[in-house]
Structure 1
Amino acid sequence: MKTLLTGGTVVSMDPAVGDLVRGDVLIDDGVIVGVAERIEAPDAEPIDATDRIVLPGFVDNHRHTWQTAFRGIGADWTFAEWASAMHGTLKPHYRPEDVYAGTLLGRLEALHSGVTTMLDWYHVAQTPEHEDAAVAALRDAPGRSVFCLGAGWGSPGPVDAAVRRVRADLTGDGPVTMALGLRGVEATGTDTVARELELAAELGLRTSLHVDIASGAVAHLREHGLLRDTTTFVHGNGLSDEELRMLADAGSSLSISPDVELKMGFGSPTTGRALAAGLRPTLSVDDVPSAGGDMFSTMRTAFAVQRGLDGGLRSRDLLAFTTIDAAASCGLATRTGSLTPGKDADIILLRADDLTVFPVTDPAATIVSAGHPGLVDTVLVAGRVVKRDGVLVDVDLAALRTRLVESRNRIAAAAGIPLDGTWRPEPASK
C-alpha cells in the first residue's frame, strides 16, 4: 500500500534530503521511498499536508509510564520526596492491571503529542505478571516502543531470570523491542554491573543507567572497562567535564530530562557541557507526576536554560536531540529519526495554520520556541496512521480514562494518601 503526503513544509532532519518549503513524501509498505518537491504517484492514497509541517516523529528515550495515574502530584516535590512517594508509598500497592493502565495511557499520551518512538524505563518490578502487563500495554498502543526492564528501585537481587524470560517474548525487530535498565555501581557494586552488561551483550540488548549525582560513577566504570557504546546514561547533572568526555570517547549516549532535573534539584542540565565534550545529548520526559509529558516543553526548557547560560545552541539542535540523535541512542537510527528514503515512515504533521504559530517563517525555530501538543494533527508509525485530524485512531479514550482514574483512586486509598494536593511525602534518603 502506498501513501503520499502532499504539499507540506518538510523538515527532514537529513542533510542529504534537506528541507522543502513545499514537498511530498511517498510511503510504500510502511517505508519512506521518496522525498521531493513534487512526486507523481496516482496509485497512492493521498494525505493533504497543506498548512502542515512534516517532520520525523519525536523519540523519547527515557520515560516511566507506570506513574501516569499520578500526573501532577509531584510538581512541588524534590527528588528525595518523589523517591519516597512513588517507590516507597505508592508502588507497593500497584497491581498488574494498574501497571497496564498507566503504561497504556502514558504511551498513548506520547503518541498524541507526536512521540512515535519511546523507551519505557520500567522500575516497578514486583512480579512477572507486572512485567507482562507493561509489555501488553505497549503492544496495545500503536507506537514504536522499547521496554527497558529495570530491577526495581533499590533492589539488589539478580535480574537474569526476569530479563531472559521477557527477552524470550520480545525477539526480532517488531514495534516493541527490549533494553536492560542497569542499577549502577552505587546500588549493586561493580561485579553486578559487569554481569548485567555481559547479560545484555549476550541477549543483544542496549542498556540504560541513571546517574543523578556526582558520585564518580562514570570514572569508576571506565577504570573497570565497563563503558559501552550501547549504554545511555540518564541525567548526569553531577558528571564532571572529564567524565562527559569519557562517555563521548566510549560512544555512549546521554539522556537529559531538563524539566525534572531543574525542579527536583539535580542542577542545571548538562546540554552545553555535553556538546563541548563531544557528546550528542538527547532529551526525555522522565515522569509526568513531576513534569509535562510532551517533547515540545522539554525542548523549550533545555533550549532556554542553555541559551541563558552561554547563548549557545540553535533551535535545529533541539530537533536533532529529539529525533535522529535520540533514535541513535536507542539503536534505531537506521529505522527512524529522519525522513530518509529507506527508513520506516514514522512521521508527524504539525498544524502551521494554528494561531499560536502562524505565520510560520522558520519551521524549526517555530517548533522549538512555540510548539505544543495541540499542533499535532496527524501521526504515522511505520506508515500506519495512528492519529488523524487531531484524534487518535481506534482508541476508546473514555473507557481508558475511567480505568486509569479507578486505578489511581484504589492505589491512593490503599496507600492512605489524600488526592487533594495536601500530601507531602517524607523524603527518602539517597
Structure 2
Amino acid sequence: MEGPGQPSPSAVVFRHGTVLTMDDTHRVLTDADVLVVGDRIAEVGTGLTAPDGALEVDASGGIVMPGMIDTHRHMWQTAMRGYGADWTLTQYFVWYYLEHGRRFRPEDIRAGNLLGALEALDAGVTTTVDWSHGLQSVDHAEAAVDALRSVPGRFVLAYGNIQAGPWEWTAQPEVQRFLTGLRDAGDDRLGVQLAFDVTGDPAFPEKAAFEVARELGLPVTTHAGVWGATNDDGIRLMHEHGFMTPETTYVHAATLDKDSYLRIAATGGSVSVSTESEQSAGQGYPPTWQVRRYDIPVSLSMDTSVWWSGDLFSAMRTTLGADRSREHLEAHVEGDTVTHVHLRAEHVVDWATRGGARALGRDDLGRLTPGAKADVVLLKNDESPVSFPLLNPYGHVAFQAQRGDVHTVLVDGVVVKRDGKLVGADLAAARSAIGSTIDYLRGDMGEETWQQGMNPDLPSDDDVLDNPYTYTEYKSSATREARESLFGDSSAG
C-alpha cells in the first residue's frame, strides 16, 4: 500500500447514512451526510453541499462512525497469527520472553508490523498503538517504523524490549536519539510512547526508565494488574514516585485492589481493556466493573493475533458478554435477577472510539464533528442479509457487524478502503514477507521445537509462574495473592 501521498479526492461526502457522531452528547443522525474536506470533518447534517469533484459515497442502509482506536496491539507478533490459540499466559511468557522472542530479526518485526497495520485498516481500526516490545535494537525499531509508515493508517509506536530491563535500554544513547527523532518528526500519523512493565521490586529499578520518559516528554504504557507478573506493588511504587500521569495507559488492570484503582482514577490515567485476552489467557477477569465504579477512562484493545481476532468488533462484543455474565452470576449467587444491564452497547462503541482518543490525548480523533480529523468508517454490506434491518445502531455495531461489513475507511481524509477492499494494498508482498519470516523461524528452531511451541513446556524450575521477566531476579507471591471473590473486588458493581 502506498504511503500518505496516495492520490485521493480533496473532498468526500457520505450520503444518507445513519451517523454515530460520538460527540459529547452522542447524537445519532438518520438519513444524514458527513462531508470531509482535506483531512478534516467539514460538516455533519442533511442535504449538505459538497465541493465540485467530491467523491460521493452512498451510505444509505449503512452506519457512518469514527475510525476505531486500538490502544494495545503487539503488531510484531502478527507473523505468528493463530500459533498460540491454545496457549495460557504462562506459555506465552515461555515462548516469547524466555525462549524464542529473541530470534526475531528486524525484517521479521517489519513483516509482522506490515501485516498488522493492513489488518487494522481492513477492520476499520484507523489508529493503533503498536505495543512493540520486540525491539532488541534500534535496527528493529527502524524496521517497525518503516512498516508503519508504508501503510496510510495512524499509529503510535510504543517502544519496548522484553529482552532487557527498561532501565537498561532506555539509557542507551542510540535509543534516546531514535525516540527524540520520532518525537520531533512532526508526523501527525505516527506518535511515540515508552512501553514497559513494573515488577513491584521494592528497589524500583524501573524508576530510571520513568525518568527518561519524563525527560523526553513521552507517555508510558504498561501492563498492570497481570496475574503472576505485575500487581499492586508496582502501582504503589509508580504513585509514590510521582510517575502516574493522565497520559499513562494501564493495560489489562485486571488483578488490582481498590487502592490501585483509586490511584489510577486520582491521577487521571486510563485503562486499556483487552477482554478476549483477559478471558482466555489469564491476566484476570476483565475489569469493566472496577473501571466503571471508580470512573476510570476506558479504551479497548485486541492484544495480539497470536491468539485473538485483530478487530474491535470482537473486543466490543466480548466486553459486553464478560461484563453482563458477571452481572448475572453475581445476582444469581444472591438469589436475585438482573432486569436491566449496566454496560450498554453505546458504552463499548464509545470506548472503541472516543475512549481511545482520550487515552492518546487526541481530542481531534474518535468523533465526527466539524474540525475533527477525518478518520471515518462506513459499515455497509448490501450483499449480507445481516445488514438489515438497522434498528439499534449501537447494538448493530457491537453485536452484528464484522470486518467484512467495513465498506469504506478514511484516514486523514484519504480513502484507504473502498467497496470492501483495501486501496493499493500489496497483499502479495505482505504475504511474501510473512512467509519468509515463518520459514526462517521454523528452520531456526527446528521442526520438533516449532511443533512443541504450540504447547510449550514450562522450565523445570517453574519460575515463570511467579515473574516472567528475564531482566530481574525479583520474585513476589503478591502477583498471585488469593482474590476476594471469583472476580476480584466483590463490591465493584
TM-score, normalisation: structure 2: 0.83
Q: Quote the residue 2:191 is aligned against.
A: 177
Q: Between 111-120 and 395-404, report the one with greater CA deviation.
A: 395-404
- C-alpha distance after superposition, 1:146-191 (max 9, x if no partner): 000013245352413244222233122421111111332437952x
The structure that has the greater radius of gyration is: 2
Q: Quote the residue 1:96 is aligned against.
A: 106
Q: Quote the residue 1:259 is aligned against.
A: 276
After TM superposition, what 4+ stretches of structure 1 lie above 6 angstroms from structure 2?
none
* Preserved CA contact (<8 Å) 1:245 1:278: no
Question: CA distance change for structure 1 residues 390 and 180 in 2, over 3 Å: closer, same or farther?
Answer: same
AA of the residue aligned to 2:347 = D
Question: CA distance change for structure 1 residues 42 and 422 in 2, over 3 Å: closer, same or farther?
Answer: closer
Matches within 5 A, 1:321-336: 321-333=351-363, 335-336=364-365
SS at match of 1:323: helix
Matched, 1:2 2:14: no
Q: Quote the residue 1:15 is aligned against.
A: 24
* Preserved CA contact (<8 Å) 1:31 1:341: yes
Counterpart Cα distance in 1 of 2:79 and 2:309:
13
Counterpart Cα distance in 1 of 2:197 and 2:451:
34
Q: Quote the residue 1:34 is aligned against.
A: 43
SS at match of 1:299: helix
Q: Between 41-50 and 388-397, report the one with greater CA deviation.
A: 41-50
Count of residue pairs brought into register by the alignment: 428
Give the superposition deviation at 1:88: 2.8
Correspondent of 1:320 among 324, 331, 350: 350
Q: Quote the residue 1:243 is aligned against.
A: 260
Q: Quote the residue 2:301 is aligned against.
A: 284
- C-alpha distance after superposition, 1:214-246 (max 9, x if no partner): 343212322333211111011111111231121
Correspondent of 1:194 among 193, 204, 207: 207
Question: CA distance change for structure 1 residues 278 and 28 in 2, over 3 Å: closer, same or farther?
Answer: same
Matches within 5 A, 1:134-173: 134-153=144-163, 155=165, 157-160=168-171, 161-170=173-182, 171=184, 172-173=186-187
Correspondent of 2:433 among 399, 403, 406: 403
List alignment gaps of at least 5 residues for structure 1: none
Give the superposition deviation at 1:344: 0.8
* Preserved CA contact (<8 Å) 1:8 1:23: yes
Give the superposition deviation at 1:357: 3.6
* Preserved CA contact (<8 Å) 1:113 1:376: yes
Question: CA distance change for structure 1 residues 189 and 9 in 2, over 3 Å: closer, same or farther?
Answer: farther
- C-alpha distance after superposition, 1:39-95 (max 9, x if no partner): 112423322222221000110000001111111111111111011112333322211
Give the superposition deviation at 1:266: 1.8
SS at match of 1:279: coil
- C-alpha distance after superposition, 1:235-281 (max 9, x if no partner): 11111123112101100111111111111122210012111011122
Give the superposition deviation at 1:309: 1.4
Q: Between 213-222 and 412-421, report the one with greater CA deviation.
A: 412-421
Matched, 1:381 2:381: no
Counterpart Cα distance in 2 of 1:98 and 1:244:
37
Q: Quote the residue 2:131 is aligned against.
A: 121
Question: CA distance change for structure 1 residues 421 and 379 in 2, over 3 Å: closer, same or farther?
Answer: farther
- C-alpha distance after superposition, 1:275-315 (max 9, x if no partner): 10111221101111111111011111111110111232000
Q: Quote the residue 2:4 is aligned against.
A: none
Matches within 5 A, 1:11-90: 11-16=20-25, 18-43=27-52, 44-90=54-100
AA of the residue aligned to 1:321 = W
* Preserved CA contact (<8 Å) 2:156 2:190: yes
Counterpart Cα distance in 1 of 2:163 and 2:278:
18
* Preserved CA contact (<8 Å) 1:99 1:133: yes
Counterpart Cα distance in 2 of 1:198 and 1:75:
37
Q: Between 279-288 and 207-216, report the one with greater CA deviation.
A: 207-216
SS at match of 2:385: coil
Q: Quote the residue 1:339 is aligned against.
A: 368
* Preserved CA contact (<8 Å) 1:68 1:103: yes
SS at match of 2:200: helix
Question: CA distance change for structure 1 residues 199 and 20 in 2, over 3 Å: closer, same or farther?
Answer: same
Give the superposition deviation at 1:207: 1.2
Counterpart Cα distance in 1 of 2:154 and 2:260:
32
AA of the residue aligned to 2:198 = G
SS at match of 1:84: helix
AA of the residue aligned to 1:304 = G
